[in-house]
Each structure stands twice: as C-alpha cells, then as structure tokens.
Structure 1
Amino acid sequence: MSLMTDGEPNATSDRRTVVAVFLAGVAVFLVLYETQGLIPAIRDAYSIDAPTASLTVSATNVAMACFLIPFSLLASRIGHARQIAAGVIVAAVLALILPFMPSAELLIAVRFLQGIAIASVPATAMAYLSLRLSPSALPGAIGVYIAGNTIGGLSSRLLTGLAAEVLGWHGGLAFTAAVSLALGLIVVWLLRRDLTATAPKRRVAHEGQPRRSPIPLGHGLWAIYLTGFLCMIVFGGSFTMLGSRLQRDPWQLSEGAVALFFLIYLVGTVVTTYYGRLALRFTRTRLTLIGMVVAVIGAVLTLVNSLPVIVIGMSLLTGGFFLGHTGASAAASTARPGVDTTRSAAIYLTVYYLGTSLGAWLSAVLFTDYAWPGVVVMCVISLAAVVVLVGFTQRHRSSPS
C-alpha cells in the first residue's frame, strides 16, 4: 500500500510523487549533456583542443558515476525527497553560473560539481518510488521516470543547441539552466510534504527491506556491467564528436542545425518501448548480438559523406546501442539469489557513465588525430568486444559444471 502523507488521499499523493520524480529526471538530465553539442564553440572560445573541450562532458559523467553508490547509501539517512530536491536545485544553480566561467579549467571544475549534484537523483529516484508507491503502481512509475531521463537527455542537446543558434553558446547554456531551475522549483513544491517528513515516517518506509549484501560481482554480473561500459563508449563517444564533424567541411552546419541531429535519440525511445515484445521472441543474448551487429553497420555507414546516410547510420547505431543497453540494464536489475539488485543496478549505472566519460574523451583524441574514421574504428572495436564478451559468457553458462 502506498504511504499516506498528512492524511492526503493515496491517489493524489501518488500522482504528485510520480510527477515530481519525472520532472526531477528531466531537470537534471537537461543539464547533464548541455555542453555535448557545443564542443566546437567551447574549443574556439577558450583556445583549447578538442580532447580538453570534451572534458566538459567527461567530467560531469565521471563525477556522476563516482557518486551514484555513495548517494544511494546516504538517501536513507537524510531522506530521499530531500536528496532529490537538493540535487535538482544545486545542479541548476551550477548550470546558471557555468556560462560565466573565465577559463576552461573552471568550466570543467563546475561541470564536475554538476555531476555530483546530478548523481543524487538517479541514485535515489527508483528507491523513493518503491517506498512511496504500491507494488502494482511501481512498474509504470519507473517507466515514467525513465521517460523523463530520456526527454531530459534529448532536450539537453536540442534546446541548448537551438538556443545557442540565437543567443550564442553562453546564452544557450543560460537558457537551459533557467529551464532546469524552473523545473527544479516545481519539484521542490511537489515534494514539500516529504521534505518536512519526520524521521519516524522515513523509518516506516524502510521496514521489511532486506539488508544490503556485499557488492555483487558474481552470477555473470561482471559481464553485464562490462557490456554497458563498452556500449556507452560507443554511444557517448560518437555523439560527442558528431557536432565537430558536421561543423567542418563540406557541411559547416551551425549549432542549431547540429542540435537537430540529436532527435535521433528518439530511435532509442522506440526501441526501449518495444523491447519487452522483442524479449518474448528472442533471448536477451540474441537481442544484444543483433543490436551490436546493427550498431556496427550503422557506424560504418556514417563514413559516407552524405547527410541522409549519416542520419541512417547514426539511427542504426542508436537502435543497436539501446538493444544492448536495455537488456544489460534489465539483467542488472533482475533479482538473483543472494544479490542486492538495488546495489547491482547502481553499479551498472556507475560503469555505464564511466563508459560515457571515456568514450567522450577518447573519441575527441581519435578525432583530432584521425578525423571521423578514428571514431568509427573505436566504435567497431568496442562493439566487437561486446560480441566476444557475450559469446564467451554464453559458452561458459552452457558448458557443464
């Protein structure tokens, strides 16, 4: 049964909780990737190279990855709602001061601090929903939260790029920050009852929860974590340097035009929506292998100097990535004997965002030395490694013990 809050009807309280967590996801992911489409502009503004400019993406993801597990442990002490509200507001305030940084070093430092603040939401949101909602309402609510993350991630690149077209890259960042802060204030208002909840109420929410187990690495989970890591090297790296490629000859597209390419992310929304149906016909292993093959084909197609072909290639790469990521994420969150699934999911997210960080930096290094073909080689090698990893794991499971 859902928890009651000051006598408030359950239905109203549940709706407020779901909307608050949805908007929190939108707000923090809105500023998570805000510099990804602005790498060329940041590089030129501070007279730095592309690998250094890419650290504005990597630093945030590294910080986020490092603080997911600590925040997942801290939430029960300070309150899940308080942690979510604080993270949303702090991330937005840091985003507001970001355009005024006088040096690249300070810009990267603020982005790192943003990552710490952002981590408080994904580390807490699902646990908060599980405490506040009934078991029957929980799956739908988690789906809504993940949709918020997707919308925020897409809007982060799209809104910032389109605003930068009119206001310059400083104005683009400021516009995105203002939207994030507005959403954050709404989140605080929606969570206002839980923000003032007493300690006994929070303890009631944790009654009956199993004690946390040690960090789960067995049961084949290491392969699942590594799959997410390798997939994110490909996805994060390719999209980080896509703008740099499109703003060169022969296209020389503007920030606004490049931002429109991030609409390709919607392919991922379609794939995740239909993944459940596909899983009824194919095993997770087969879907992952299919996804990696599709992604390799897409990566190779992007070598063609044609905008329509690049769109098709990036769409295939995105669809293939989400086939692998969705399956790995679900596997990391699946209950297994002796495994704390909350901790397992947190570890998966940690390595997932570390993959984003490495991919963003490595793709910038390769792009500087070898242009776009260097990025494609990185993608193909990483995707091939996933295929080998999945095949090895499958053979190990099927071999007699």
Structure 2
Amino acid sequence: MDYIEKKHSNYYKTIFALFSGSFVSFMILYSMQTLIPIFSMQFEVTPAVASLALSVTTGFLAVTMLITSIVSDSTGRKKMMTWALVISSILCILSAFSANFSSLLVIRAIQGIALAGFPGIAMTYVSEEFHPKTLGVVMGIYVSGTTVGGLSGRLITGALTDWLSWQAALGVIGGISVLLSVLFWILLPEDVHSNRSKYTLTKIVPSLLHNLKDRKLLGLYTISFVLMGGFVTVYNYISFVLMAPPYFLSQTLIGLVFLIYLVGTFSSTFMGRVSDHFGKPKTLPVTILIMLLGALLTLSSNIWLILLALAVFTFGFFGSHSIASSLVGQLATNYKSQAASLYLLCYYLGSSVIGTSGGVIWEHYEWYGIVITICGLILIALLMVTWIVLQLRREEKGRGGRVDPNEQGA
C-alpha cells in the first residue's frame, strides 16, 4: 500500500496541514480557559458554573464524535475535517457577540458539535494514511499542534482581554482560525486508505461494541478519561490560585503561564519517538509517574516551584496522551475510526465532567483538595497500564509466545 512516509512528496505538506488543523481546533476549544475567572466575576456565577464555558463544549464534542466518526466513513475524512474547522471558526467569531452567559454557552455547545468532526477523524487519518513505522512521530507532531493551538488561544485571550476585551480576543481567534482552515483544505491530500461505506444503525452499534469489548482498549479509554480530566482541572483552577494573594498575577501574566504548554509540544513528539523505540507499554507508565510528581510539586508556596511543577505535569500529560492515542490505532483490529472516537469521547468527557466537578472541590477544599483528586486519578491510570500489559501478555501466551508484528512496537 502506498503509505505516506518521509520519502513521499506529500509527507511534510500533510504533516503541516494536520498540525494547522489541530492548532485551530484546540485554539478555539481552550480559548475560554483563561477567561473562567473573568466570567465568574462579570456574570456573577460560581467558578464551577463559569467553567461550563469550556466543559459544555468538550461535553457536546465528546458525544457527537461517535456520530462523526461513522459519517466520515461515507463522506471521507478530509471533507469532514474541513467542514468541522470552518464552521467552528465562524462560530468562534459569533461567540464574541454573545449578549449574556447563557447565549455564550449555547454557541459553545454548537461549537462542540461542529468541532467533533476533527479530532477523532484526524487520528484515524494518521493511522490509515501514514506508514506504521512513522506513526508514533506523526501522532506526536499532531498532538504538538494541539499544545501550540491551546497555548495560543490562552495567550491571545489573556493579553487581548487585558488590553481590550474578551469579545475582541474571541473575534481575533475566530479570524485566524478561518484563514488556517482554508490552508488546511488546500494542503491536506485526500484520504485513499479509508474504507468508504454507508453505515446504518444496525452497523453502528456492532462497530462500537466491538471496541468496547476489547479489554486493552477499555484500559486506554479509562486512561484517557482520568488523565485529561486531571489535566484540565489543574489548568482550570490554577488561575484562581495565581490571581489571589500572595501572587496577584494579572490576566496577561496568567496567559503567559500557559507558555508552559510548549513543554507539551516537545514531550508529545519526543515521547512518541521514544515509545516507537522502547515500546509503548514500557514508556506510558513513566510519563504518568512524571505527571504525579508534577501534581505533588504544585503544593509548594514558591511561585517558581509552582511553575516548574506545571511544566513537569504538562510534560507527563502530553507524553502520555501521545503514546496512548497512537496505541489505540495500533491495538484496534477493526473499526479504527470508532476506536479513536471512543478514546476521544472519554478524553473530552473527562475534561467536561472532571473539569467542572473540580470547581466543587475547589470551593470546599481549595488547592489541596484538587491535588489529592489529581493524584487519585493518576493512580487509576497506572492501574490501567498494568491491566493492558497483562492483557498483552495473555494474548502473547495464547499465541504460543509469538509476538504479533502489529503489537511489537506497542
């Protein structure tokens, strides 16, 4: 099969297109995160309610992805992703004209539905169109695009909210997103390895159940849920810590804190390459333990140590996500797009459910309560890695000790 690899003429063009798409999707998605304290004050709502500006989008995105993954099997991956980026970019501009918090939440909910046509489809596109030997690196570059996009959204909203208003910030982000969405459409090659087929309801349920019955994939879905939930919770509420005494950081400086996301840009690509060499089940627990160390270090009262802790935590998270997401494509035997969408369903549900629940913990137990919760979630992830390794060994034993070539890199 003619996979895209380094010697292929479209290799770098395709990677740049995917990077641009992931950049746009995460810039739009997480542009609200630095605004949560602002919404809490301006609209006179609790931090948990204010966090719905992010959580309602990730929640609708998570559920809708199950549908878009199936639709893309008949419409094509590129067409689905392009429409997702263009529509969500236009909605970002419209959100700048929200009259109140309720109307903002309605637009953000629709935006989540529109964005659902990108992340899971992009993961499937990578696993289908690129050579398996480059899968870890390419998925790492794709994930790095999400970190840069998320970082840019937070920096732009932080700075422009201080200088102008949050409405102006969202308008600028929407305009940039429209331009990059057009560039994505121009540069990305059509998908040639996807199995084009029309799905009926009788086919949808079996395709989902097939992946839900796979114990290894269930472990990865759980890891996705708890780690993303923990990661978003940290960044949702660290702003409240840093804006309060004794730090008193401004909205612009809070935005600059998200420069730490550049650590994730590096770790997603770096750990993707390391996992290709040493094996994914061996490297995944290492990145999760790095997250645990970072979470514990945030308990320091020294602001520089807190920032270092966030960097360590971010390195571990994006390394984990890069490895786990590429492992889904490797371990899914059939219905790969549905497998990727179920992974991201849990990923964004974790962001939505745990991210908002963290507001309740913050209100009652403040930062110590947040850290204890995060550590508990990380321990669950480590248990799931052990579960996956045991399942792989059991399958290897069942084959008489012969290692499946598709899992050798795992």
Q: Same fold, TM exceeding 0.5? A: yes
The question of whether the paired residues in 1 share the 8 Å contact of 2:229 and 2:350 is answered with yes
Distance in 2 separating the partners of 1:282 and 1:79: 34
Match of 1:99 in 2: 96
Q: Is the 8 A contact 1:88 1:121 kept in 2?
A: yes
Q: Are residue 355 (structure 1) and residue 350 (structure 2) matched? A: yes
* Percent identity of equivalent pairs: 27
| Cα gap change, 1:152 to 1:323, in 2 (>3 Å) | closer
Q: Which amino acid aligns with 2:318?
A: F
Matching residue within 237, 260, 278 for 1:264: 260
1:341 and 2:336 matched: yes
Conserved in 1, the CA contact under 8 Å of 2:139 and 2:272? no
For residues 391 and 76 of structure 2, the distance between their equivalents in structure 1, rounded to whole angstroms, comes to 42
Stretch moving more, 29-38 or 287-296: 287-296
Residue 214 of structure 1 is matched in structure 2 by: 207
After TM superposition, the structure 1 = structure 2 runs for residues 128-167 of structure 1, keeping only pairs within 5 Å, are 128=125, 135=131, 139=135, 144-167=141-164
1: CA distance, partners of 2:375 / 2:11: 44
Amino acid at match of 1:364: G
Structure 1 unpaired stretches of 5+ = 4-9, 195-201
Change (3 A) 1:289 1:189: closer
Q: Does residue 365 of the first structure (1) align with residue 363 of the second (2)?
A: no
Contact 1:129 1:138 in 2 (8 A): no
The correspondence of residues 1-400 of structure 1 with structure 2, limited to 5 A, is 11=9, 17-128=14-125, 135=131, 139=135, 144-190=141-187, 206=195, 214-215=207-208, 216-217=211-212, 218-276=214-272, 278-279=274-275, 284-335=280-331, 338-392=333-387, 394=389
More divergent stretch after superposition (134-143 vs 100-109): 134-143
Q: Distance in 2 between matches of 1:143 and 1:273?
A: 4
How far off is 1:311 after superposition? 0.8
Q: Is the 8 A contact 1:291 1:321 kept in 2?
A: yes
Q: CA RMSD in A?
A: 3.2
* Amino acid corresponding to residue 379 of structure 2 in structure 1: A
What's the offset of the Cα at 1:322? 2.9
Q: Distance in 2 between matches of 1:179 and 1:158?
A: 14
Shift of residue 371, structure 1, vs aligned partner: 1.7
Cα deviation for residue 82 of structure 1 reads 2.8
Q: Deviations over 1:259-282 (max 9, x none)?
A: 111111222222222224543775
Change over 3 Å in CA distance of 1:40–1:118 after alignment to 2: same
Closer/same/farther in 2, CA of residues 137 and 155 from structure 1, 3 Å limit: farther
Query: TM-score, normalized by length of structure 2?
Result: 0.82
User: Deviation at 1:394?
Assistant: 4.5
Any stretches of 5+ residues in structure 2 without a counterpart?
198-202, 399-410
Q: Deviations over 1:46-102 (max 9, x none)?
A: 111100000111111111111112111112333433322221121111111212212
Equivalent pair of 1:228/1:324 in contact (CA under 8 Å): no
Gap change, CA 1:81 and 1:244, over 3 Å in 2: same
Contact 2:227–2:377, Cα closer than 8 Å, also in 1: yes
* Cα drift, residue 223 of structure 1: 1.2
Following the alignment from structure 1 to structure 2, what is the Cα–Cα distance between the partners of residues 232 and 186?
29
In the TM superposition, what is the alpha-carbon distance from 1:369 to its structure 2 partner? 1.8
Distance 1:300 1:126 in 2: 32
Task: Mark the CA change 1:205 to 1:282 in structure 2 (over 3 Å): closer, same or farther.
Answer: closer
1:101-143: per-residue Cα shift (whole Å, max 9, x none)?
A: 1221221111111111111112333445677x57489746655
Tell me the equivalent position of 1:6.
Answer: none
Change (3 A) 1:98 1:356: same
Count residues in correspondence: 383
Question: Partner amino acid for 1:220?
Answer: K
In 2, the alpha carbon distance for the partners of 1:316 and 1:63 equals: 30
Distance 1:293 1:26, change over 3 A: closer
Q: How far is 1:352 from its partner?
A: 0.8
Task: Tell which deviates more after alignment, 68-77 or 283-292.
Answer: 283-292
* Matched residue type, 1:304: S
Alpha-carbon contact 2:59-2:352 (below 8 Å) kept: yes
